[in-house]
Chains A and B, each alone.
Chain A
Amino acid sequence: MGAAFDEMTGAGGAVRAPYALVERWLADASPDFLQTRRAQAELFFRRIGITFAVYGDADADERLIPFDIVPRVLARGEWTRLERGLVQRVAALNAFLADVYGAREILRAGIVPEDLILRNPQFCLPAIGLKPAHGVYVHIAGIDIVRTGPDQFYVLEDNARTPSGVSYMLENREVMLRLMPELIDRHRVAPVETYPETLLDTLRSVAPPRCRHDPTVAVLTPGHHNSAYYEHSFLADKLGVELVEGSDLAVRDDVLYMRTTEGPRRIDVLYRRVDDAFLDPLVFRADSVLGVAGLVAAHEAGNLTIANAVGTGIADDKAIYSYMPEIVRFYTGEAPLIDNVPTWRCREPQSLAYVLEHLPELVVKEVDGSGGYGMLVGPHATRAEIDAFAAKLRADPARFIAQPTLALSTCPTLADSGIVPRHVDLRPFVLTGANGTRIVPGGLTRVALKEASLVVNSSQGGGTKDTWVLDD
Chain B
Amino acid sequence: MLSRTAAALYWTGRYIERADFTARLVEATIRLAALPSSYGGDVAAWTGALAAAGAADGYALAHPQLGEESACQYLSLAPLNPSSMRSCIEQARTNARAVRTALTAEAWEAINSAWLDLQRYGTELDSRLMLNRLLEAVKAAALAFDGAIHRTMLREDGYWFLRLGAAIERADNTARLLDVKYHLLLPRDEPVGGSLDYFQWTTILRTVSALTAYRHVYRDAVKPWLVADLLILNKQMPRSLAACTGSAVRYLDELARESGRRGPAHRQASALAAGLTGTDIAAIFQAGLHEQIERYLADNNRLGELIAEQFLF
A: which residues have CB within 8 A of B?
46-49, 223-224, 230, 233-234, 236-237, 242-245, 247-248, 258-263
Contacts and interface: CB of A to CB of B under 8 A. Distances in A.
Given A248-B4, A261-B312, A224 B112 contact: no
B100 A262 contact: no
Given A49-B100, A261-B1, 9 more contacts: A47-B109, A47-B113, A224-B98, A233-B101, A242-B5, A243-B101, A258-B2, A259-B4, A261-B6
Contacts of A223: 98
Contacts of B286: none
Nearest to B161: A261
Nearest to A223: B98
Contacts of B157: 261
B15 interface: no
Contacts of B5: 242
A467 to B, nearest CB: 23
Given A233-B100, A236-B101, A237-B100, A48 B2 contact: no
A290 to B, nearest CB: 14
Interface of B: 1-6, 97-101, 105, 108-109, 112-113, 116, 157, 255, 259, 261, 311-312
Contact of B312 (A46, A48, A259): A259
A49 B97 contact: yes
17 contacts: A47-B109, A49-B100, A49-B112, A224-B97, A224-B98, A230-B100, A233-B101, A237-B100, A242-B101, A243-B99, A243-B101, A244-B2, A247-B4, A259-B3, A259-B4, A261-B3, A262-B261
A260 B109 contact: no
A248 B113 contact: no
Contact of B311 (A46, A230, A245, A261): A261
A146 B5 CA distance: 41
Max count, chain A CB within 10 A of own CB: residue among B2, B4, B113: B2
Nearest to B98: A224
B112 A47 contact: yes
Given A243-B101, A261-B157, A248 B112 contact: no
B259 A248 contact: no
A233 B2 CA distance: 14
A248 B101 contact: no
Contact of B109 (A48, A237, A247, A248): A48
Given A46-B116, A48-B105, A261-B311, A248 B97 contact: no
A247 B311 CA distance: 15
Contact of B3 (A47, A48, A243, A248): A248
Contacts of B2: 242, 244, 248, 258-261
Contact of A245 (B4, B101, B105, B312): B4
Contacts of A259: 2-4, 312
A395 B234 CA distance: 80
A204 B6 CA distance: 26
Q: Which of A260, A261, A262 has the most CB of B within 10 A?
A: A261
Contacts of A242: 1-2, 5, 101
A248 B4 CA distance: 7
B111 to A, nearest CB: 10
Contacts of A263: 312
Nearest to A218: B2
Residue from A49, A223, A243, A245 having most chain B Cβ neighbours under 10 A = A49
A59 B108 CA distance: 23
B306 to A, nearest CB: 13
B109 A262 contact: no
Contacts of B98: 223-224
Contacts of A244: 2
B163 to A, nearest CB: 15
Nearest to B93: A49
Q: Which 3 A-B pairs have the closest CB atoms?
A: A233-B100, A237-B101, A261-B311
A259 B311 CA distance: 10
Nearest to B109: A47
Given A233-B100, A248-B2, A261-B311, A49 B261 contact: no
B208 to A, nearest CB: 31
Contacts of B1: 242, 260-261
A176 to B, nearest CB: 18
Contacts of A236: 101
Nearest to B260: A262
Contacts of A261: 1-3, 6, 157, 255, 311-312
A257 to B, nearest CB: 11
A258 B191 CA distance: 61
Contacts of A258: 2
Contacts of A233: 100-101
B25 to A, nearest CB: 30
Contacts of B113: 47
A230 B3 CA distance: 20
A224 B96 CA distance: 11
Nearest to B103: A237
A233 B109 CA distance: 14
Contacts of A234: 100
Nearest to B105: A48
B243 to A, nearest CB: 25
Nearest to B94: A224
B95 to A, nearest CB: 10
B104 to A, nearest CB: 10
B97 to A, nearest CB: 6
A245 B100 CA distance: 13
Contacts of B4: 245, 247-248, 259
A157 B113 CA distance: 38
B4 to A, nearest CB: 5
B200 to A, nearest CB: 42
A244 B99 CA distance: 9
A262 to B, nearest CB: 5
B101 A260 contact: no
Nearest to B311: A261
A261 B4 CA distance: 9
A220 to B, nearest CB: 12
Contacts of A243: 99-101
Contacts of A237: 100-101
B160 to A, nearest CB: 10
Contacts of B6: 261
Nearest to A62: B97
A264 to B, nearest CB: 10
A233 B312 CA distance: 22
A103 to B, nearest CB: 41
A230 B2 CA distance: 18
Contacts of B100: 49, 230, 233-234, 237, 243
A236 B101 CA distance: 7
A233 B1 CA distance: 15
A234 B312 CA distance: 25
Contacts of A46: 116
A103 B252 CA distance: 57
A248 B5 CA distance: 10
